Amino acid sequence: MFRKFLVSIAFISMFNLTNATIDFDKNLLQDSKVYAATNQELAEQKLDEAKQFFNEGNNQEAILKLTEAIKLNPNLEEAYLGRGVCYNDLKNYSAAISDFNKAIELNHNFEKAYLARGLLYFILDKYDKSISDLYKVIELNPNNSDAYFGLGNNYTFMKKYDNAILYYSKSIELNPNDAESYYFRGLAYKAIGEIEKANSDFLKARELGFKE
């Protein structure tokens, strides 16, 4: 449970597109430009279809739709991110990393792709790479509580408990109802002998609905 991958929970939010309005003036009516605009619209349609399949638990169909979206628009970073999330759910981690890499290649400031890759690197025990990606997330968005939680996990497994407590605490500050952050901070406190603080965090985690 500790290594739970958090990114798929936020799958839909990863697909918030920021498309420019298409103005079909006379210059856009050239065949090549109309074709490009049509492909963009079709790619977005495939993206929406993929979301629905994902929400239904059908990762394979979601991957097919996302691959179709990529063929229509090879620069659609959201499609690579979403497909990577699906591959992760199927435990095809090498394919997931490849897609996260491509999403970042297309957009060097793609916060959600760094988060996804960073959390997956943690699952793969690549702590240095995970930490690097999660720090990049915080650089891009200092209020991303998932990144702080991920850093806490890395430092816990590296047995750097003081660092872990620091980042779990920041996660809690940003998201006071995060039961997991309380629970795992409790484990870190327990590891350094702070039993009273550990028990307090365990109690708070249970109050927030955490189940061991």
Residue 201 sits in a domain whose CATH number is 1.25.40.10
Q: What is the pLDDT of residue 179?
A: 94
87 and 53 in a common domain: yes
DSSP symbols for 17-61: --PPPP---GGGGSHHHHHHHHHHHHHHHHHHHHHHHHHTT-HHH
Confidence at 39, pLDDT banded by 50, 70, 90? confident
Q: What is the pLDDT of residue 33?
A: 45
Please give the tally of structural domains in the chain. Answer: 2
Closest-CA residue to 110 (of 119, 120, 100)? 100
61 and 29 in a common domain: yes
Average pLDDT over residues 98-113: 97
Residue 22: CB partners within 8 Å, gap ≥ 6?
Answer: 28, 37, 40
Confidence at 59, pLDDT banded by 50, 70, 90? very high
Average pLDDT over residues 67-85: 93
3 and 27 in a common domain: yes
135 and 150 in a common domain: no
Query: Dihedral of CA 124/2/87/20: which sign?
Result: negative
Indicate whether 25 pLDDT > 50. no
Cα–chain-centroid distance for residue 31?
38
107 and 6 in a common domain: yes
Is residue 135 exposed (0-12), middle (13-18) or buried (19+ Cβ within 10 Å)? Answer: middle
Of 141, 172, 192, which one is at a domain's C-terminal end?
141
Q: Encode pLDDT of 155-195 as tens digits.
A: 999 999 999 999 999 999 999 999 999 999 999 999 999 99
Domain boundaries, position 19: 1-141
133 and 59 in a common domain: yes
Least confident of 6-10, 71-75, 77-81, 152-156: 6-10
106 and 91 in a common domain: yes
Q: What is the pLDDT of residue 8?
A: 38
Cα–chain-centroid distance for residue 97?
12
33 and 10 in a common domain: yes
Average pLDDT of the residues of the chain: 85
97 and 196 in a common domain: no
Q: What is the pLDDT of residue 45?
A: 87
Q: What is the pLDDT of residue 37?
A: 53
179 and 196 in a common domain: yes
Q: What is the pLDDT of residue 21?
A: 29
Q: What is the pLDDT of residue 190?
A: 97
